[in-house]
């Protein structure tokens, strides 16, 4: 009995020592990699700082930059360090807007990520592809645009998404003319990302490219266009959103209502909205529409709201009663509700 | 005086000030500030407000107690409207830049000071 116990204790003791050993190694490796990260960060910061605000004499040549990078271990044989530089580049690019953003664009093609990104794009796996495309557009390596272009219809959602964002980053408003050819759908997140990129990088509105994209027949394409119109507050194009209320797809209609709430409508738009009201089959959407109509109209359209009083949805009924009541049409409301009592009494 | 935790932002700002012919002291955190720094008058202090174990407003108040300056400009990742309002309510705070921002605006403001 004692013999077995001893073996067990010995075994546990050895396991414990191995664990300690392992922890020590991990700590050591982590410390070392952290140190090298900080070293690269420092060198990189120096280069970016000099590039943006350096005085003439201290500015480094491309060869000098390469040599300094080599000194801290950034070379082709060490993909981890190269990846670190790429991450730093993306981080920096994101911190800065305006003229310096453009200046960084000039610097980045000179830095040596050794085609890592484009190699990733050529990789067989979708996650590598998507990551590579993202790195390329974040670092504005526009020389690879032709190679990225075909991926906009890729079968994988993420590859497709990054490729489309890349198109927007490189081509701006012009990229919208590709929209009718994008047959696969894209997510809400992607739409937001595209709109944001467009807004950050190409603040000048080019409506003619937008109009060219109106042929788009996918639901997500339509939603994207509406979100662009809203983000840039393009008043001339509000009609497009209003007409999307006639769409078959419930999501498109919802997006249209959502976008319309940021605009004040004119009379003809209001008229279209009212005529399309009964096309909104979903009562939640109808409720939103009632709110919009009420905000937009200069005078209360009594007959329209009286019609709504007979709506099967209670919330819409109450809303329209409230609107009528607040605008001084108490009698109409009272009459409607009394008439109900009468039918019950009968 | 520049206080920024992010090494890259710190360096860029340092070079920005050097190009404007300032004498610059760049540190990564509040703890690196030395005793003798407290006797110097700084034209401008650029600082982050996101530090461990201290709230943004408290940090600015602490900073004002220990450093001689009239102009504090905040450059931070923390750009929410609420924080911005709170910070601006403090005396001596002349600017607030939420990352990402356009450095030319900052440069312009410094030149006007």
Q: Specify burial of residue A13 (Cβ count, 10 A radius: 0-12, 13-18, 19+).
A: exposed
ipTM summary value? 0.78
Which pLDDT does position A55 carry in this prediction? Answer: 65
Task: Determine the average pLDDT of the residues in A89-97.
Answer: 80
Tokens of A4: 């077995």
3-state secondary structure of A176: helix
For residue A59, is pLDDT > 60? no
- Say if the Cβ atoms of A96 and B8 lie within 8 Å: no
**pLDDT tens track for A66-83:** 777 777 777 777 777 888
| CA pair distance A275, A286, nearest whole angstrom | 12
Q: How far apart are the first and last CA of chain A?
A: 95
Which pLDDT does position A21 carry in this prediction? Answer: 96
Task: Determine the average pLDDT of the residues in A97-123.
Answer: 74
Which pLDDT does position A112 carry in this prediction? Answer: 64
| CA pair distance A322, A194, nearest whole angstrom | 40
For residue A49, is pLDDT > 90? no
For residue A216, is pLDDT > 90? no
Supply the DSSP symbol for B51. Answer: B
Q: What separation in angstroms does the CA of A162 have from each of A120, A133, A203, A224, B104? A: 13, 6, 21, 16, 30
For residue A346, is pLDDT > 70? no
- pTM here is 0.64
For residue A248, is pLDDT > 70? yes
**pLDDT tens track for A252-261:** 888 888 888 8
% of chain B beyond a pLDDT of 70: 99
Instruction: List residues bridging with B76 in a β-sheet.
Output: B98
Which pLDDT does position B75 carry in this prediction? Answer: 84
Mean pLDDT, chain B, integer: 81
Contacts of B105 in chain A (CB under 8 A): 98
Where does the pLDDT of residue A146 fall: very low under 50, low under 70, confident under 90, or very high at 90 and above?
Answer: confident
For residue A119, is pLDDT > 80? no
Where does the pLDDT of residue A17 fall: very low under 50, low under 70, confident under 90, or very high at 90 and above?
Answer: very high
The residue among A62 and A13 whose pLDDT is bigger is A13
Task: Determine the average pLDDT of the residues in A242-265.
Answer: 82
- Say if the Cβ atoms of A44 and B8 lie within 8 Å: yes
Which pLDDT does position A114 carry in this prediction? Answer: 60
Supply the DSSP symbol for A288. Answer: H
Instruction: Provide the shortest C-alpha distance from residue A43 to chain B (in Å).
Output: 9
The residue among A12 and A325 whose pLDDT is bigger is A12
| CA pair distance A22, A18, nearest whole angstrom | 6
Task: Determine the average pLDDT of the residues in A126-146.
Answer: 82
For residue A6, is pLDDT > 90? yes
**Cis before B100? omega within 30:** yes
Task: Determine the average pLDDT of the residues in A138-157.
Answer: 80
| CA pair distance A270, A274, nearest whole angstrom | 6
The residue among A336 and A22 whose pLDDT is bigger is A22
Least confident interval from A36-50, A73-87, B62-76: A73-87
B8: left (phi over 0), alpha (psi -120 to 50) or beta: alpha
Mean pLDDT, chain A, integer: 81
Instruction: Provide the shortest C-alpha distance from residue B35 to chain A (in Å).
Output: 26
Measured between CB atoms, which of B11, B102, B105 is closest to A45? Answer: B11
Instruction: Provide the shortest C-alpha distance from residue A204 to chain B (in Å).
Output: 17
């Amino acid at each position: 009995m004692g013999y077995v116990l001893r073996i067990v204790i010995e075994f546990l003791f050895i396991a414990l020592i191995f664990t300690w050993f392992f922890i020590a190694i991990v700590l050591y490796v982590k410390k070392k990699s952290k140190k090298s990260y900080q070293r690269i960060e420092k060198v990189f910061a120096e280069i970016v700082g000099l590039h943006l605000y350096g005085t003439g004499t201290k500015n480094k040549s491309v060869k000098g930059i390469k040599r300094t990078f080599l000194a801290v271990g950034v070379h082709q044989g060490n993909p981890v360090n190269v990846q670190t530089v790429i991450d730093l580049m993306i981080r920096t690019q994101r911190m800065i807007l305006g003229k310096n953003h453009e200046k960084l664009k000039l610097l980045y093609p000179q830095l040596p990520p050794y085609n890592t990104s484009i190699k990733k794009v050529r990789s067989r796996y979708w996650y590598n592809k998507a990551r590579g495309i993202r790195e390329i557009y974040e670092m504005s390596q526009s020389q690879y645009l032709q190679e990225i272009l075909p991926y906009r219809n890729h079968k994988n959602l993420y590859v497709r998404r990054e490729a489309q964002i890349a198109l927007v980053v490189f081509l701006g408003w012009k990229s919208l003319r590709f929209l009718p050819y994008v047959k696969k759908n894209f997510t809400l997140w992607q739409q937001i990302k595209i709109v944001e990129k467009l807004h950050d990088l190409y603040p000048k509105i080019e409506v003619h490219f937008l109009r060219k994209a109106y042929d788009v027949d996918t639901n997500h394409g339509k939603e994207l266009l509406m979100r662009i119109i809203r983000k840039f507050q393009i008043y001339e194009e509000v009609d497009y959103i209003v007409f999307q209320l006639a769409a078959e797809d419930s999501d498109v209609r919802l997006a249209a209502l959502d976008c319309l709430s940021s605009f004040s409508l004119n009379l003809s738009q209001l008229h279209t909205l009212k005529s399309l009201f009964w096309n909104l089959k979903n009562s939640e959407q109808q409720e939103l529409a009632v709110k919009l109509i009420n905000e937009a109209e200069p005078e209360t359209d009594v007959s329209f709201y009286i019609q709504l009083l007979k709506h099967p949805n209670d919330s819409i009924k109450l809303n329209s009663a409230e609107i009528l009541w607040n605008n001084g049409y108490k009698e109409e409301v009272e009459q409607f509700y009394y008439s109900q009592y009468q039918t019950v009494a009968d | 005086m520049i206080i920024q935790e992010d090494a890259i932002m710190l360096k860029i700002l340092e070079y920005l000030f050097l190009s404007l012919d300032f004498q610059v002291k760049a540190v990564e955190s509040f703890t690196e500030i030395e005793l003798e720094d407290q006797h110097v008058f700084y034209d401008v202090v650029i600082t982050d407000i996101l530090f461990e174990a201290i709230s943004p407003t408290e940090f600015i108040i602490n900073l004002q107690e220990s450093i001689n300056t009239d102009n504090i400009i905040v450059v931070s990742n923390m750009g929410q409207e609420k924080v911005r309002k709170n910070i601006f309510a403090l005396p001596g705070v002349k600017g607030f830049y939420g990352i990402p921002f356009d450095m030319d605006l900052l440069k312009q403001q410094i030149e006007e000071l």
